[in-house]
Amino acid sequence: MEIFPALLSVITDPVLLGAILLAAIVGMIVGATPGLTASAAIAMLLPITFHMPPLFALAFLYVIGKSGRYGGSIAAILFNTPGTAASAATQIDGYPLARAGKAGKAMKVATISSVIGDFMGDIMLVIGVGFIAALALKLGPPEIFAVYFAAFVVIGSVIGNSVLKGLASALLGIIIAMIGIDPISGEERYTFGMFELSNGIGLVPLMIGVFVLGEVFAQMEERRNHPAKIKSNETTDPDGNQLSWQEYKPCLPHALRGGVIGAAIGVLPGLGSAIAAFISYGEGKRRAKDPEQWGKGKLEGVAAPEAANNAVSGPSMAPLLTLGIPGSTIGAILLGVFLIHGIQVGPTLFLTDKELVYQLFACGILGIFAYGLIGYFGATRVSRIILKIPTQVLYPLIFLTAFIAAFSARGSLFDVTVMTCAGFAGWLMRKYEFNVAAFVISFVLAKGAEETFRQAMLMSKDGAMIFIERPIALAFLILGIAAIALRVRSIMKQRRKAQGALADA
């Protein structure tokens, strides 16, 4: 049980503890601020972490991600504006509770359930990750490429509303990642004679552009097109009331079930916390004695999605650490941090940097307690801070920070140009409902996928048949194709239902 010495080493490091606490606060504020996301905050802070030791940098950003997921519930409950996509499920019952003057109660339920879910997810991660890594070590290039293929397809087709746009976004991410000198043959690709492009497109400026500048552009458009929709953060009294054990008791089974659902979904790349939260909410409502009351302000309706939302966090690290496949945008950014600090992610990570991995898990567990305590006793104070943030000042400052953050990464003005273009592209993708997450995750995965694909082709005597001849590889290819087929089927079903309803009307 490597986690216990890791916990001990983290607890005895006051500087690291301070960073975890700070990250918990930052994540909560960012997650709770409508329009800001934990991904944007992490991307923006990424260059600052270059100057930190690897564990410090990873723990800081990892805990911001965890706390940011939880922080989304504060905005959902108080402002009726989910801070994160996953918090939209919390909003269904959270906001009616706030309108009934029970905002404090709802936020306490969200905090306890988030802590339960997150803790369950982390325990599953700690227990299961070594096993997955041992399995991953036995996979050869054809199998790993098939896993990459399944990840591309699942990420492209499952996230978002359109399968075609999702897949197109993933393919665009792959094409952009191919810019530069091919590391195997040394040939230039997509450089069009430009020297700056021969080094490829940097991960950090691309992420800052897509997540930070793209978001600033999107906010600018939103403010102009829907000025009435910009809330001046007026809301019900956040002071709410105390939560008793009798009140939380019926929520506990929903939180535990949500934890299991979230943890199971978290292991699968690309599905993410929004899906987990909605499945958990749906399952909770299905099993409830009074399902008709859900949506009108039930505390259980807050507990179920919040636990699932946060339970995704830990297990989503498993494919990242064992296979180098990030399951979420935060995972993709963390992969960048590993690479920047010269740490190779994949099954060998558990041979070369096992101590670091478990220390990171320990930081995550302590981060849960940090945001749990701050949230339980201080969520109302956090909401007061957010009420005071003038968004017309916040976004211009974020705009300016994006440029200097992109420059700081490598001291390159070309990176700033990349960031600016990526920001505009990110805004266009959001505007036309392409899938930004699939684009970025595919960009990160593409190099690894290409390497394993070409290694597999060199191993093969029958060309691409190697992927069909090896059963594990074939299973993952079928999984990818099945994911598309199921998604298309579900969209067609929804469309038929909608057409039927229209005809009835």
Partner 1 sequence: MAIRNISEALVLALLSTVAIWGALQVPEASPGETWAGIVPFGAALALGAIAVISLLGALRRANTAGDTPSTGNRGARDVIILFIIAVLYQQSFSWFGYLLPTAIVAPVALYMFGVRSPLGLALSVVLCPLAFHVIFFMLLGVYPPYGEVFDLNEFIQG
Binding residues vs partner 1 (CB under 8 A): 48, 51, 164, 167-168, 171-172, 174-175, 178, 182, 184-185, 187-190, 192, 213, 216-217, 220-225, 391-393, 395-397, 399-401, 403-404, 407-408, 411, 413, 416-417, 419-420, 423-424, 427, 431-432, 446, 449-450, 453-454, 457-458
Q: Which amino acid is at 46?
A: L
Query: In terms of Cα–Cα distance, which of 58, 116, 185 is closest to 451?
Result: 185
Query: In terms of Cα–Cα distance, which of 281, 330, 249 is closest to 84?
Result: 330
Task: State which residue, 22 or 178, has the beta carbon closest to partner 1.
Answer: 178
Q: Could you tell me which residues come within 8 angstroms of residue 236 by beta carbon, excluding any fewer than 6 positions away? A: 78, 98, 99, 101, 103
Query: In terms of Cα–Cα distance, which of 363, 350, 308 is closest to 84?
Result: 308
CB count within 10 Å of CB 11 equals 12
**Residue 411 beta carbon to partner 1: minimum distance, rounded to whole angstroms:** 6
**Residue 364 beta carbon to partner 1: minimum distance, rounded to whole angstroms:** 26
Give the 3-state DSSP-derived string for 140-185, with helices as H, strands as E and coil as C: CHHHHHHHHHHHHHHHHHHCCCCHHHHHHHHHHHHHHHCCEECCCC
Instruction: Enumerate the β-bridge partners of residue 181.
Output: 188
**DSSP code at position 189:** E
Q: Are 56 and 65 in contact (CB under 8 A)?
A: no
Task: State which residue, 300 or 415, has the beta carbon closest to partner 1.
Answer: 415
Cα–Cα distances (Å) from 68 to 75, 283, 292, in that order, read 11, 24, 31
Written as six digits, the tokens of 258 are: 């949500």
Task: State which residue, 127 or 428, has the beta carbon closest to partner 1.
Answer: 428
192: left (phi over 0), alpha (psi -120 to 50) or beta: left
With H, G, I as helix, E, B as strand and everything else as coil, classify residue 464: helix
**Residue 185 beta carbon to partner 1: minimum distance, rounded to whole angstroms:** 4
Virtual torsion, Cα 115, 346, 163, 171, nearest 10 deg: 140
**Residue 130 beta carbon to partner 1: minimum distance, rounded to whole angstroms:** 32
Angle in degrees, 0-180, between the axes of helices 163-177 and 471-504, rounded to the nearest 10: 140
**Residue 50 beta carbon to partner 1: minimum distance, rounded to whole angstroms:** 8
Task: State which residue, 431 or 496, has the beta carbon closest to partner 1.
Answer: 431
Cα–Cα distances (Å) from 217 to 92, 105, 330, 394, 437, in that order, read 28, 36, 21, 13, 17
Task: State which residue, 436 or 446, has the beta carbon closest to partner 1.
Answer: 446
Q: Which amino acid is at 15?
A: V
Query: In terms of Cα–Cα distance, which of 276, 248, 225 is closest to 84?
Result: 276
Task: State which residue, 381 or 431, has the beta carbon closest to partner 1.
Answer: 431
**Residue 201 beta carbon to partner 1: minimum distance, rounded to whole angstroms:** 13
**Residue 90 beta carbon to partner 1: minimum distance, rounded to whole angstroms:** 28
Task: State which residue, 30 or 416, has the beta carbon closest to partner 1.
Answer: 416
**Residue 483 beta carbon to partner 1: minimum distance, rounded to whole angstroms:** 16
Question: What Rg value do the Cα atoms of the chain yield, rounded?
Answer: 22
Q: Are 131 and 350 in contact (CB under 8 A)?
A: no
Query: In terms of Cα–Cα distance, which of 100, 38, 108, 89 is closest to 379?
Result: 108
Task: State which residue, 182 or 237, has the beta carbon closest to partner 1.
Answer: 182
**Residue 217 beta carbon to partner 1: minimum distance, rounded to whole angstroms:** 5
Task: State which residue, 351 or 393, has the beta carbon closest to partner 1.
Answer: 393
Task: State which residue, 2 or 188, has the beta carbon closest to partner 1.
Answer: 188
Please give the Cα distance from 183 to 305 (Å, whole number).
44
**Residue 427 beta carbon to partner 1: minimum distance, rounded to whole angstroms:** 6
**Residue 472 beta carbon to partner 1: minimum distance, rounded to whole angstroms:** 21
Task: State which residue, 354 or 447, has the beta carbon closest to partner 1.
Answer: 447
Task: State which residue, 225 or 244, has the beta carbon closest to partner 1.
Answer: 225
Q: Could you tell me which residues come within 8 angstroms of residue 54 by beta carbon, excluding any fewer than 6 positions away? A: 337, 338, 341, 343, 356
**Residue 287 beta carbon to partner 1: minimum distance, rounded to whole angstroms:** 39
Residue 68 phi, psi (nearest 5): -65, -40
**Residue 258 beta carbon to partner 1: minimum distance, rounded to whole angstroms:** 35
Please give the Cα distance from 60 to 46 (Å, whole number).
10
Task: State which residue, 168 or 343, has the beta carbon closest to partner 1.
Answer: 168
With H, G, I as helix, E, B as strand and everything else as coil, classify residue 341: coil
